[in-house]
Amino acid sequence: MNWLFVLPGFFILLLAVLFFMDSKKHAGVLARQTAPLQLLLIVLTSAIALLSSGLLKRFFYSPQLMFVLWLLFWLLLLVLAVRILAYFVFDFLLLKKQGIRYPKLVKEVVVFVLYIVGILLILNYYLNIRPTALWASSAVLTVVIGFALQDILGNLFSGIVLNFEDSFKLEDWVRIGDREGRVEQFGWRSFKIRTIDRELIVIPNQTASKAEVLIYGSGGQPVRLKIGVAASYQDSPDRVGAAILKALESMTEIRREPPLEVQLVDFADFALNYLVKFWIDDYARHNVIASEARRRIWYTFRRQGVEIPYPKRDVYMKQERSAEIPRQALAEVLQGNDVLREIEAEKFRDLLALAEYKVFGGAETIIREGDASDYFYHIYSGAVNVLKNGQVIARLGAGDFFGEISLVTGEKFNATVVADRESVIVLVSSAHFKQVIDMNEKMALKLSQVITRRQEEMRLFSEKNRRTDSAVLHKNSANLFKRIVNYFATKK
């Protein structure tokens, strides 16, 4: 029996083994990739065996045909062997068994080297062509090709160095020059990064190897952001730093550890420049988080009177549009307030002169439950949410008010109030109220009745299924009356 008939049987057995492993989910990709190649080898080895057999050899045998068939066999066998070896080393042993993610370029370079070695072996042992003689005879051609492929080879070797240096990996966020994105793929000539705007940028390997690369790490690693803030020389660094910390303390996307830092970095021509440093978890959202931090700082500066200065080198006088609320409009608004309308006209005018207003941005906390009470708040424009134990119990709009208990009793706030959107809030200081208003029993009784009724309306808003109990209202009003009298130290 001709031993060449063993070759088709071997490849049939190999194909069966790979498909069996495919059914066990061990080598499904390899079986599908190599099946056409193995079928060709089965056909080719069968033809070689038949043409070498005693009967057909007499009529169809041709040395030239057999030479070509054997050359095709060795080339196809080389391709099959390299594919199987690359799969078991990289995909099976490293990725599946060890969990090591390797760059695609590394596998491609190893496969390329194996092909070169296999072809040289075929040239040497089958075609009797010595590689040294081949290289010597094509020295001039090699130089010409080298110059022509200079950039390509430069990118290739730069890519190999970048992969083996392990400077940055797949899924890392990097900045190269003015380009920033997440590394998606390494290739022979270049690698690809995906920007935050989902744009795909192809960067030559040689460019990355020569340029300064800033590596932020993968998305799961904490990253520190820096934003610049300028403030006037009239505002002390301690005051500015405290305002910035207050503005950012409630941002959930800023890590509490390591703590946020505010550093004074420069005495500029017209401003003190500060650098705000904080850590975040998701670098993919760094632009959004930085924008929200700047927005909150602006609103906090506006409320606390911290100036963000204009350049002093301007040679023209800029006329600012007044942001003050007209006193007449403010008086009309406050006269409709249930609490303040009980005050005598003369006292009301004195109190109006001492009123102030502040602007709060959406999601900013105006008062916190348990904080000491300093002001009575009237909503001039916008809307706020009243929270108790983290749940919204009321929503107030323009014309509504809150903090009335603190105005007349000095007690701490019993709820948290957060701006739903940008809101202008008129503030009446409890100290000024106590200074201006001559509290007496009649006035205290009126205020206690108004405030008790107001509290019941708020309670009914969150508990719509309960009815107002007049006895409870009277009891609460009497209790509040005593607290008001005690706070203002009036005598019966």
Q: What is the pLDDT of residues 41-70, one digit of tens each?
A: 888 888 887 777 766 666 666 778 888 888
Find how far residue 482's CA is from the centre of its chain. Answer: 54
What pLDDT digit, counting tens, does each position of 91-130 carry? 777 667 666 666 666 777 788 888 888 888 888 877 777 7
For domain 327-488, the question of CATH label 3.40.50.2300 is answered with: no
DSSP state of 271: S
Q: What percent of the chain has pLDDT over 70?
A: 70
Among 135-149, 234-248, 313-327, the range with the most confident prediction by mean pLDDT is 234-248
Higher-pLDDT residue of 179, 186? 179
**Per-residue pLDDT for 401 more than 80?**
yes
Instruction: At 405, list the tokens.
Output: 């208990």
Domain coordinates in residue numbering, the chain: 3-147, 223-304, 327-488
What average pLDDT does this structure show over 18-38?
Answer: 71
Q: Which residues pair with 360 in a beta bridge?
A: 423
Give pLDDT tens digits for 210-233.
Answer: 777 777 776 667 888 999 999 999
What is the distance between the alpha carbons of residues 310 and 303, in angstroms, rounded to a whole number? Answer: 18
Higher pLDDT, 32 or 461: 32
Per DSSP, 4 falls in state G
CATH number belonging to domain 223-304: 3.30.70.100
Q: What is the pLDDT of residue 276?
A: 96
Which 3 state secondary structure label does DSSP give 328? helix
CB 224 within 8 A of CB 277: yes
Instruction: Assess whether pLDDT exceeds 90 at residue 262.
Output: yes
Say which residues have a Cβ less than 8 Å from residue 163's Cβ, sequence separation at least 6.
103, 105, 106, 186
Q: How far is C-alpha 222 from the chain's CA centre?
A: 11
> Residue 375: which pLDDT band, with cuts at 50, 70 and 90?
confident
Smallest Cα–Cα separation from 295: which of 311, 308, 282?
308
Q: For residue 235, which of 311, 310, 307 has the smallest C-alpha distance?
A: 307
